Structure 1
Amino acid sequence: MKRAMQAVRISGFGSAEDVLEYADVPVPRPPGKGEVLVRLRATSVNPIDCRRRGGYGRALLRLRGIGGFPQILGSDISGEVVAVGPGVSELQAGDAVFGAKSPSIHGTYAQYCLVKAAEVVRKPASLSFAEAAALPYAFLSAWAGLTDAGFRAEAATGRRVFLQGGTGGTGVVTLQVCRALGAHVAVTAGPQGIDLCRRLGANEVFDYRTQDFSRHLDRYDFAICLADQSEEAKMISILRPGPGTGYATLVHPLMSLVDAKGLLRGGIQAVRIFLRERSSQKRHRRAYAWSLFRPDRAALELLAELAEKGTVQAVIDRAYPLSAMAEAHEYSESGRAKGKIVIEIE
């Protein structure tokens, strides 16, 4: 195996143009127990990558021992297993896999990546490597919110789900999964994304610029915030009271407060806000959650099954080579993408 690989890394926080460096770096060590080494063929740019590049979450990541430099960002995995570590029996060299890895300083903006075997599954043959790279991190992030709010795949039929932000990378895949499981789904979108959401199966689509969804929706089971926490009260207002219903947000202030005020003061303020809001919803017997991406093999296998059936499709806005990562980040930060920004790796 080669001793060097091409990757994009950062050696400090800053703008895409200033800190993203395309360079030759060492290939990761051989896989250890429970790990696999993957030759990546594609990955994606998620908004969290751009925020981490700018320093978002640095305090909590440093506390977890993953805040040093240089860093290779990226989470989505799509490629081929080239080596397996001890104890790995479900995968072997040559398997095409996809998935998403936990945050680290050794991410997926590279030709090779070490990953826990439990964080990848076999790639559906119906998906290209680029298409497979568009799905896992976005879906698993939203799935964490859905399950924290009380949503269950086996009981999804007929449940009413509201997704704020239907055309982002997270929204387009989550909308499709919820519909495939039998849920009734309402979403918000910009004027250029309304037709896309309808094509993907949304039952109701609201133009966030001209329509107030809270005036039209009522007695929903779940509301998931994917874009703008300032609308939290509106999202909660459309929920019915009672058990089996809930709200979750992926854009909560935990990391921002800790970054701004330090682990102690920021953490205490975040806990106070969270407990106040959770207590308020508990009176209505509703779940309330601040959610983060987390690996979930069962959810990843569900995604693979639905993709293989063709009921979930990748929505790719643009694809870039690894060497054009700065341009890809800038496009992500423009907010114009409808679907995912994919990085193809030679």
Structure 2
Amino acid sequence: MTSGAAALCLGPGGSGGFTVRQFTRRRPAADELEVAVTAASVNPIDVRRSEGYGRRLLSLLGAGRFPLILGNDLAGIVTAVGSRVSTFKTGDRVYGVKPASAEGAHASHVLVKAVHMLAAPGDWDLHALAAIPYSFTTMWLAVRGAGLSRENAVGKNVLVHGAAGALGTLATQMLSSWGARVTAIARKSNSKVCLEVGAAEVVERTDDLFVSLSRSFDATLNFATWEDDLALIGCLRDGALGHATTVHPMLGNFDRLGWLRGMLRTLSQKKDHRRALPKGASNYAWVLFKPDKAALDDLRQFVEHNQVSLPIGLCKPLAAAGLAFDHVRKRQPGRVLLLP
């Protein structure tokens, strides 16, 4: 095999943050594909990991020691196929996800499990597809964690906090297509965007926001800030489905407090928040990204029916990874892609 190139993250102590390094490409294992990457996303979790966040727990996955290659989703062209893979062949256009590892998607060539990849429809641009899989999977896990599904979503009132971000946008698109009524929490400047992707109502994010919201929601989703989590739970009606958050402190607890104290703190916080659920509500979830077959199956359907999309804000080559990460760090608009 010939060589490839990757944006190697040197970590918070590394001079310059990133360097492009050559590596020797390996043949895929029996259940893997090698994909020549057309584009790979830079997600907020990549920025936080580049600053050392989550190192203690992620070390259990071999993903906590610098230097490492970040990135969890990509789109590209299959260049090699493992011996047990029958779903793809060389030359196929694909998109999908990688679990957290030290060999992520910010590279020219990536080895990935075939079950974590989807065939790209011919009418979709690979850059647009690269922006979606990680965010969709994380969002989908939160939606399911709150007790919502395609089968029970019709007519449900769902409150989405952080509705103008990638997770909130995709949640609004998916839930509205399922027949749910989405109330979006967003800044006033983002109201039009939230309505365009399917929100029935937009509530401006203000200091006294939760005072004005009634306990009338069947499910609440927190994609914004941990500090608002209890207030969101307080918006659930009796007998509601439940609540899920992607902005919980689990990884940070272990980073700050170590294994034992981090575990105790995490268990205590989850218990306190679960106790705040209204009568009859049983679903409460802290969501961490992981590849999920059911999520990818739903993603395939939404892509094929052109029901999900995210705007691209910036594209940069691997050599400019630092600039791409800065764009995300500063919360500039649009998704950010690295182009090998």
| TM-score normalized with structure 2 length | 0.94
CA distance in 1, matches of 2:136, 2:280: 28
> In the alignment, which residue of structure 2 is the partner of 1:99?
96
> In the alignment, which residue of structure 2 is the partner of 1:24?
22
> In the alignment, which residue of structure 2 is the partner of 1:331?
327
Residue type of the alignment partner of 2:172: L
Contact 2:236 2:278 in 1 (8 A): no
32-41 or 170-179, which deviates more:
170-179
Residue of 293, 297, 304 corresponding to 2:300: 304
**Post-superposition shift, 1:209?**
3.6
Residue of 173, 186, 190 corresponding to 2:183: 186
211-220 or 143-152, which deviates more:
211-220
- Cα deviation 1:147-182 (Å, max 9, x = unaligned): 111111222221222211112122222211111222
> In the alignment, which residue of structure 1 is the partner of 2:316?
320
**Post-superposition shift, 1:48?**
0.3
User: Within the alignment, does 1:4 sit opposite 2:3 as a pair?
Assistant: yes
User: Within the alignment, does 1:275 sit opposite 2:275 as a pair?
Assistant: no
**Post-superposition shift, 1:22?**
2.2
Residue type of the alignment partner of 2:255: D
> In the alignment, which residue of structure 1 is the partner of 2:172?
175
**Post-superposition shift, 1:229?**
1.1
CA distance in 2, matches of 1:232, 1:69: 32
**Post-superposition shift, 1:217?**
4.6
Contact 2:95 2:117 in 1 (8 A): yes
**Post-superposition shift, 1:14?**
4.6
**Post-superposition shift, 1:120?**
1.0
**Post-superposition shift, 1:199?**
1.3
**Post-superposition shift, 1:282?**
7.2
Residue type of the alignment partner of 1:24: Q
Residues 1:172 and 1:68: Cα distance change in structure 2 (over 3 Å) = same
Contact 1:130 1:343 in 2 (8 A): no
CA distance in 2, matches of 1:42, 1:179: 29
> In the alignment, which residue of structure 1 is the partner of 2:236?
239
Aligned residues between the structures? 340
**Post-superposition shift, 1:250?**
0.5
**Post-superposition shift, 1:212?**
1.3
Residue type of the alignment partner of 2:146: A
- 5+ residue gaps, structure 2, are none
CA distance in 2, matches of 1:211, 1:147: 29
Alignment map for 1:227-266 (pairs within 5 Å)? 227-242=224-239, 245-266=241-262
CA distance in 2, matches of 1:164, 1:290: 15
Alignment map for 1:23-172 (pairs within 5 Å)? 23-27=21-25, 29-172=26-169
Residues 1:317 and 1:118: Cα distance change in structure 2 (over 3 Å) = same
233-242 or 326-335, which deviates more:
233-242
- 5+ residue gaps, structure 1, are none
- Secondary structure of the equivalent of 1:252? coil
304-313 or 36-45, which deviates more:
304-313
CA distance in 2, matches of 1:175, 1:126: 23
- Cα deviation 1:226-256 (Å, max 9, x = unaligned): 111111122112111216x111111111110
- Cα deviation 1:93-145 (Å, max 9, x = unaligned): 22111111100000010011111111111123232111001111011111111
> In the alignment, which residue of structure 2 is the partner of 1:342?
337
- Secondary structure of the equivalent of 1:153? coil
CA distance in 1, matches of 2:126, 2:211: 39
Contact 2:61 2:101 in 1 (8 A): no
> In the alignment, which residue of structure 2 is the partner of 1:295?
291
CA distance in 1, matches of 2:48, 2:71: 12
**Post-superposition shift, 1:201?**
1.6
- Secondary structure of the equivalent of 1:259? helix
Contact 2:8 2:69 in 1 (8 A): yes
Q: What's the % identity of the aligned pairs?
A: 34
**Post-superposition shift, 1:211?**
6.5
Runs of 4+ aligned residues of structure 1 deviating over 4 Å after TM superposition are none
Contact 2:234 2:277 in 1 (8 A): no
Contact 1:76 1:133 in 2 (8 A): yes
CA distance in 1, matches of 2:121, 2:32: 21
CA distance in 2, matches of 1:283, 1:183: 22
Contact 1:126 1:308 in 2 (8 A): no
88-97 or 256-265, which deviates more:
88-97
**Post-superposition shift, 1:215?**
1.3
Contact 1:168 1:340 in 2 (8 A): no
Residue type of the alignment partner of 2:7: V
CA distance in 1, matches of 2:129, 2:214: 33
CA distance in 2, matches of 1:301, 1:150: 18
C-alpha RMSD of the superposition: 1.9
CA distance in 2, matches of 1:59, 1:124: 39
- Secondary structure of the equivalent of 2:47? helix
